[in-house]
Amino acid sequence: MIKEEARQNVALDSSAMALCTATQWSVRSWITRLWIAGLCLARLCLARLCLASLLLTPTMATAQAPPALPNPDLSDVEPQVATRIQERRRQVTERTDSSPATGAAWGAFGMSLDVHGFKTEALHCYEQAANLDPTERRWPYFRAILLAELSWPEASEWFERARALAPKYKPLLIRLGNHQLVTGDLIAARATFGAASGTQRELATHAHFGLARTALAMGNSDDAVVQARRALAAEPRHRDARNLLAELLRQHGDDEQAETERRRAQQTESTISLPDPLAVTLLEEGVSSYWHQKRGRLYLIGGDFARAAEEFQQALGVAPRAEFHAGLGEALLRLGKAREAETHLQASLALRPDSAPTLTHLGFALWQLGEPESAIPVLEKAVSLPQGDRAATLDVLAAAYEASGQLEQAATIARRAQERAIESEQTELAKRIGERLERCLAADVASDEG
C-alpha cells in the first residue's frame, strides 16, 4: 500500500513535472511564435515601404522635373516657319526657373505652334504659360480660343479664367458667348452677349448678331429679328446678319422684304472680322505665306496699303499663288501704281481667270491708265460672274463706257449700279453714281442735239 502510494506520488510528481515541462514549452513556443510573427510583420511592413518608395519615386521625380517640351515634326512646313518654331523652342530651353519670364517664353512658343497648325502642342504650352505667368491674360485666353475651335468643353473654364483677368474685354465676351451658344448654354450666352453690347459699332454688330442667334435658338423669332436689325444698324455690311434677317422674315411670311434683304446680302461683305487686339498679337506671330496674306488683307481693310503691299510681297517670295498676286495688285492700285498693279493682276488671272474681284481691279487699273476700251471687256466679264454684279464693279464699268464716249451704255450701267448701291444701303456710293448718271444723260442729250 505504501509502495503503491509512493508510485502514485511518483506518477503524480512525474505528471506534474511533465505538465510543468509542457507548460514551459508551450509558453516558450508561443513566445517564439509571437517573435517570429513580429519579425515577419516587420519585414512585410519594410517590404511595403520599399515598394511604396519605388512606386512613388517616379511620380515625385515627374512632379519636380520640368514639363515636357513639345518637339513637333517640321518636315512639311515652310522653311521660315521651321526656323521660327525652333527659335521659340530654344528660348524655352534656356529658361531654368519658374518665373513669369519663363511663362512668357512658353506662351510665345505656344503662339508660334498655334498659328502654324500644331494645335495640341500649343494647348500644352499655353497651360504651362498660364501657370507660370498667372497675371497675363493672353495665355488662358488663347488656350480658350483654341479649345473652342476644337469644340472641347474645357473652353468655358479657360474663358472664365481669362475673364477674371480681363472682365471688361468685350472681344473675349463675344467669343465666350459664341462658345456658350454652340454648347447649348443659351441663358448664359444671352447674358454674355448682352454684357458685350455697347456703343462701339464694330463690337456691337457681333454682340447683337449673337443675341439674334441665341433668341432664335430659344424659339423667340420676334426678338431675333430685333437683334438682327440692331446688328445691321451697327454695321450694314454684316452679310451673315443680313442673311439671318432674310431667313427670319421669310419664316414670318414677309417674302418681299426677305428677298430685298437677300439681294442686299449679295452686295455686302462676306464676313466682318471681330476687332480683337489681343488676337492680333497672335496673328503677328505667323510667318508662313498664309499669314503674310492674312495680314495683307487686314492692312488693306484698314487702309495701310504700303504695309499690305509688303506682306503680299513676302508671300510671293514663298509661292507665286494667284491670291498673293491679286492682293499685291490691289494694294499697288490703291497706292496709285496702276501699271505695277496691272502686272500682278494679270499674273493672278493667268492662274485663276474667273475671279470677279481681280477682274474688277484690273478693269479699274486699265481705266486709270487711260485704256477704257481694254477695261470694258474685262469688267463685263466680271459682272457676268457670281458675286460680280455689284455696285462698285458696275460703277467702274459705267466710268469706262463714259470715258470711251459710249454715253447711252454708260447711263444704262450707271442705273444698274445705283440700284445695287441703294439695295445694299451704300449711300455715298449711290450718290456718286447718281452724279455720274446725270452727267452721262446730260452729255448724251447734248451730243444728240449737236
3-state secondary structure of 322: helix
User: pLDDT by residue for the chain (450 residues), tens digit each?
Assistant: 333 333 333 333 333 333 333 333 333 343 344 343 443 444 434 334 333 333 333 333 333 455 789 999 999 999 999 999 999 999 999 998 999 999 999 999 999 999 999 999 999 999 999 999 999 999 999 999 999 999 898 999 999 999 999 999 999 999 999 999 999 999 999 999 999 988 788 899 999 999 999 999 999 999 999 999 999 999 988 999 999 999 999 999 999 999 988 888 887 766 788 999 999 999 899 999 999 999 999 999 889 999 999 999 999 999 999 999 999 999 999 999 999 999 999 999 999 999 999 999 999 999 999 999 999 999 999 999 987 888 999 999 999 999 999 999 999 999 999 998 888 778 899 999 999 899 988 887 776 655
CATH placement of domain 288-353: 1.25.40.10
**Architecture category of domain 79-266 in CATH:** Alpha Horseshoe (1.25)
Statement: the pTM of the whole predicted model exceeds 0.85: no
Who's near 355: CB < 8 A, 6+ residues apart?
322, 326, 348, 349
**What is the spatial distance between Cα 294 and Cα 292, in angstroms, rounded to a whole number?**
5
Q: Where are the domains of the chain?
A: 79-266, 288-353, 374-450
Who's near 48: CB < 8 A, 6+ residues apart?
none
Longest distance between any two alpha carbons in the chain, whole Å? 179
Given this chain, do its domains 79-266 and 288-353 carry the same CATH topology?
A: yes
Q: Cα–Cα–Cα angle for 365, 370, 374, nearest 5°?
A: 70
Q: What is the DSSP letter of 136?
A: -
**What is the spatial distance between Cα 118 and Cα 85, in angstroms, rounded to a whole number?**
10
- Residue 220: count other Cβ atoms within 10 Å of its Cβ: 15
The C-alpha R_g of the chain, in whole angstroms, comes to: 39
Q: What is the DSSP letter of 67?
A: P
